[in-house]
Homo-oligomer: A and B are copies of this chain.
Amino acid sequence: MHDDGTMPRPLAPQGRTGRPPVTSRAQILAGARQLIDRDGWEQLTIRKLAAELGVGPTTLYHHVRDKEDLLLLLITAYLDQVPHPELPSTPRDRIVTAAIAIHDSLAAWPWTAEVLTVDGFIARLNESALWFVEAILAGAVDHGCTPQQAVLIFRNMWYYAAGEILVRARTKERATPPDFDAFFSRLDESNLPQLTAVAHEWDAWVRPDTFAQGIEAVVDGLLAQALAT
């Protein structure tokens, strides 16, 4: 549990004492975001960020616990400013809408994929981001699920969304993958007939973003299973 910067710090009697700060957590987060947007996610290192801010690398450790903490603060601040969508009237559509909104926000900033799977990620979100979780849980309960079913539905949707973001984030843009031809030629048509039949189309079929369609199928499947038991 650490200071989130919203509490005014009690001042020493005669004002501040000791060496004055040269930076702050807010400046560090702003610098990190700038560095990522300008030079790419791979360029975000503690040392480069410090250089960007014009401070010593070790100074950052007075403002964030470690690099993972920095990343979590960054994603939290980002999700905090994501607008909440208008929710439709049926519970099922509310679930889908909330899921698409949070997914699209994360997918738009692909480096977030690197932090999505850290232990206790959901528990570290702030209230604005938890609004999406609440919308999904409430939608499931309104649809007729028990609270426990709602939690499991959320978790399964999270697996799907996180998997989609992670796989796509690491799929480079490219015309045709380098060894795709080698891949096709290795296929044994008699053992793998379906795969052989679709091999040449695979890349083109799999490239378009079908998250919205996919999450609808996932949600419908999960809701149907919950209500059937």
Contacts and interface: CB of A to CB of B under 8 A. Distances in A.
A2 to B, nearest CB: 9
B198 A137 contact: yes
A205 B152 contact: yes
A64 interface: no
Interface in A93-150: 116-120, 123-124, 127, 130-131, 133-134, 137-138, 141, 147-148, 150
Interface string A178-218: 11101100111001111101100110011000100110111
A192 B151 contact: no
Q: Is the interface of A mostly helix, strand, loop or mixed?
A: helix
Contacts of A219: 221
A177 B130 CA distance: 18
Interface stretch (A10-18, A37-45, A73-81, A167-175): A167-175
Contacts of A206: 151-152, 155
A195 B127 CA distance: 11
B210 A217 contact: no
B120 A192 contact: no
Given A202-B151, A205-B148, A214 B133 contact: no
Nearest to A151: B205
A49 interface: no
Interface residues of A, number: 68
B164 A195 contact: no
A198 B150 contact: yes
A7 interface: no
B179 A134 contact: no
A50 interface: no
B218 A224 contact: no
Nearest to A128: B191
Contact of A183 (B123, B156, B178): B123
Contacts of A170: 117-119
7 contacts: A120-B178, A124-B179, A130-B187, A137-B195, A151-B198, A152-B210, A221-B221
Given A159-B160, A216-B225, 11 more contacts: A124-B183, A127-B191, A134-B195, A147-B201, A148-B198, A150-B198, A152-B206, A152-B214, A162-B163, A166-B166, A218-B218
